[in-house]
Amino acid sequence: MVRLLRGQVAEIESDAAVVWVGGLGLSVHCTKPTLAKLSKGQEVTFHTYLRVREGDLSLYGFLDRREQALFERLLSVSGVGPRMALALLGTLGVEALAGAIASGDLQSLTTAPGIGKRLAERIVVELKGKVEAEIAPAISPDQVPALEASEALLALGFKESRVRAVVAKLAQTHPQATTEDLIRRALKELR
């Protein structure tokens, strides 16, 4: 499996960049925002996903590891192919897309080309609670206990809006609290 690719941008097409790698010009499909950041002759390193289908090898490239991980997570949803996953990432970006999935924001998801309400609902149902790993590098270490406490309380069946509000308040008033401390304190307020 090809996971990283480094080379010089030879051409920029409407949906891909052609990258010189070891004497080969490889076509790497990218999001529109990624293509806008590239210029001919630029040295670039892509995190990649290689799709192997009968008679077709397609390479997808991402400048950010989180974007690649979320792309692969989207492909696990029935009905979402690489072009739709690229459209979602290109339209919303990693943080906004992960946030829309986590909060069930169908309106944001349907702004991407080719994503209707039914597919947006399927994406939310299949990925809600599974995209945190893709956005984790954007979370600072002091936010981890609050995030873990929130996820644990949600798993216990408490309502999301109430959990987020209570845990955020507790994390602010007790900045040194561990995950366990936050869960204990939140349970007192949520009951």
**Which CATH number characterizes residue 90's domain?**
1.10.150.20
pLDDT band at 145 (very low <50, low <70, confident <90, very high): confident
Do 148 and 109 share a structural domain? no
- Cα–Cα dist 141/180, whole Å: 16
Q: What is the mean pLDDT of residues 29-52?
A: 94
CB atoms within 10 A of CB 69: 20
Do 79 and 100 share a structural domain? yes
Which of 15, 34, 62 is at the close of a domain? 62
Asked if residue 105 has pLDDT above 60, the reply is yes
Do 144 and 180 share a structural domain? yes
Q: What is the mean pLDDT of residues 151-157?
A: 82
pLDDT score for 135: 62
Q: What percentage of the chain carries pLDDT values higher than 90?
A: 51
Amino acid at 175: P
What residues are paired with 101 via a beta bridge? Answer: none
Comparing 134 with 116, the larger pLDDT belongs to 116
- Cα–Cα dist 101/164, whole Å: 16
Which of 62, 91, 108 is at the close of a domain? 62
As for how many domains the chain has, the answer is 3
Do 96 and 57 share a structural domain? no
Q: Are strands 56-62 and 24-29 parallel, antiparallel or unpaired?
A: parallel
pLDDT score for 119: 94
Asked if residue 102 has pLDDT above 70, the reply is yes
CA distances (Å), origin 9, targets 18, 19, 31, 32: 6, 4, 15, 15
27 backbone dihedrals φ, ψ, rounded to 5°: -85, 120
Which of 93, 119, 135 is at the close of a domain? 135
